[in-house]
Structure 1
Amino acid sequence: MNDAASNPEIGKRVVAAGIETNYHDVGSGDPVLLIHGSGPGVSAFVNWRLSLPALSPHYRVIAPDMVGFGYTERPTAHRYTMDNWVTHIVGVMDALKIAKARVVGNSFGGALCLALAIRHPERVQRLVLMGAVGVRFQITPALDAVWGYEPSFENMRKLMDLFAFNRNLVNDELAMLRYRGSIRPGFQESFAAMFPAPRQRWVDAMASPEEDIRRVEVETLIVHGRDDQVIPLSNAYKFMELLPRAQMHVFGRCGHWTQIEHADRFNRLLLDFFGEADAA
């Protein structure tokens, strides 16, 4: 692995649920836990690099690389399931002595955070679902392409176009950065093991039962890009229907990268939503 001093994706390390875990821990105060998405070459830092500095003046912000991603250990024969990923999140919280947190989940991470709120409601103070998986839907061609990624610069460049509405955010430099991330030793092997075809079954496996979602009592903010090609906007409306204490914000002219395409407004939205809990 690259030296942490020269690679911002490498943060601190802790053993969580028996897995040596790379994580970022910045700021102080009440904890906010950020759970990244499942794109190839992703890491917590890549996903949350614009949110970490915006939130950390107000909160202690923790962003782990989930097992199978980034610079967290990839145990031999590890089974990549929602049960095991949720266990890993709880392990991170336990290892860092975090009893309860404001939790933000992006895409795949949204499904994990929703499952955390269902299974461990005492650990979640507020919940944010951003472009989230977690209910049943027909897999989109874009998500099928993301989960079926085969490493090449050309393939990564095509995926970048699927993520962003604003094509000015997508250039060869970004695609090359993400492509290089996807071919680091062990990265593609674990990624390919997670979502083999046929991939509709993994959408279904990441979905929580609707009756369980209806019982989630934590205040929830649903955020989605209107023009998201990867996860359909209908997911956000479904969450809004099911979650009893939900509010929703839909960004126009925005794809799957809400936290990047509308970073300032997204971060202000989080701070306002979290601040309501502080004032209560």
Structure 2
Amino acid sequence: MAGNALADTSSDDAPVYGGELEGFEYPYPVQRFTFQSQQQNLQMAYLDVAPEQPNGRTIVLMHGKNFCAATWQDSIERLTKAGYRVIAPDQIGFCKSSKPQQYQFSFHQLAQNTHQLLQQLDIDNVTVMGHSMGGMLASRYALMYPEQTQQLVLVNPIGLEDWKAKGVPYQSIDDAFAAEKQKTAEAIRSYQQSTYYVGDWKPAYDQWVEMLAGMYAGKDGEIVAWNQALTSDMVFTQPVVHEFEQIQVPTLLLIGEQDNTAIGKALASPEVQDTLGHYDVLGEQAAERIPDATLVEWPELGHSPHIQQPDEFHAALLEGLQSIED
């Protein structure tokens, strides 16, 4: 990859990890799904965690852009305790999965990759739960595979609005790559504190900062940053919000209203910025557009309610999951 070296993160005392998160330990055994896509051999890392007392249902967890399968640790523990089999993949381009030099990233492609994984595991009926970017992916999965989707759960999904249609200017992949290369643990922590946790910070959150910063700081940091730039383009240019009316499955929306996430917000004019990321309104608008939607909101929580307030969040999640009869 041509370009300058990544910014030095040693001042943040961040651990250094490999391009596929080598050195960062996941809470459950990591398995690998190998397959061919776009004329190349790829591997998708995933967690497959079985419950002690199965209830016959499987839930697929789709991570956000700044998250990994490991970030679902608390959710996996609680869901398996409640009887759910949990599949948590790292999507291609992220975390412990392949980082291709060239790949036509699309939510359709990532949904198809995930569907192939589930076929390999002989699973044909799932609840799909997505957080942040994973909410866009989970929505696309439910649109593509309604017969195999029992329920859709969206946790502070991004893409509840079309940023480019609202006036956010396009950022080229090259410019996005240059910005990605400047990321440090300090910058990641500052962003997460203000957006994910409403200004609060707990020591437990540091591991997720180190997870990301460690990949950027490692020897494969350039390809990590390049894949982040490619997927940023996917997120910006492929809105799913215009198809919410076509979602055919029961949908549970779990929204922290203090979230203000909007891709490209910093590039927009102050007037446009003022119109973006109002999750207290966006959640209600999404619930109105999705035909069979249930909305749960937390006025005091941010982008990651499942991490910020796990007891309250998972109580609402399990109640919403149980509302769907087998």
- Relative to the length of structure 2, the TM-score reads 0.73
Partners of 2:134 and 2:22 in 1: CA distance: 24
Cα distance in 2, alignment partners of residues 156 and 256 from structure 1: 14
Unaligned runs of 5+ in 2: 1-17, 263-276
Cα distance in 2 between the residues matched to 1:202 and 1:75? 17
Does 1:221 pair with 2:252? yes
Does residue 1:12 correspond to 2:31, yes or no?
Answer: yes
**Residues of 2 paired with 1:192 and 1:228: CA distance?**
23
Q: What SS class does the counterpart of residue 168 from structure 1 fall into? A: coil
Higher mean alpha-carbon deviation, 171-180 vs 225-234, is at 171-180
Q: CA deviation at 1:252?
A: 2.1
| SS of alignment partner, residue 136 of structure 1 | coil
Match of 1:118 among 143, 166, 173: 143
Report the Cα distance in structure 2 between the residues aligned to 1:191 and 1:151, rounded to whole angstroms: 11
2:11: which partner in 1? none
Within 5 A, what are the aligned runs for 1:1-280? 7-8=25-26, 11-16=30-35, 18=37, 19-28=42-51, 29-39=56-66, 42-46=67-71, 48-57=72-81, 58-138=83-163, 148-149=179-180, 150-161=182-193, 162-165=195-198, 167-169=200-202, 173-174=206-207, 175-184=209-218, 185=220, 186-195=223-232, 202-209=235-242, 212-231=243-262, 232=277, 233=279, 234-278=281-325
What's the CA shift for 1:242? 0.8
Contact 1:129-1:221 at 8 Å conserved across structures = yes
Tell me the CA shift for residue 172 of structure 1: 8.7
Shift of 1:204: 4.4
Shift of 1:260: 0.2
Q: Is the 8 A contact 1:105 1:132 kept in 2?
A: yes
| Alpha-carbon distance change, 213 to 157 in structure 1, aligned in 2, over 3 angstroms | closer
CA distance in 1, matches of 2:157, 2:59: 18
> AA paired with 1:12?
Q
Q: Which has the larger radius of gyration?
A: 2
Residue 16 and residue 98 in structure 1: after superposition, are their counterparts in 2 closer, same or farther (change >3 A)?
farther
Mark the CA change 1:17 to 1:32 in structure 2 (over 3 Å): closer, same or farther: farther
Aligned length: 267
Instruction: Give the TM-score of the pair, scaled to structure 1.
Output: 0.84
- Counterpart CA distance in 2 for 1:244 and 1:273 is 16
Identical residues among aligned pairs (%): 21
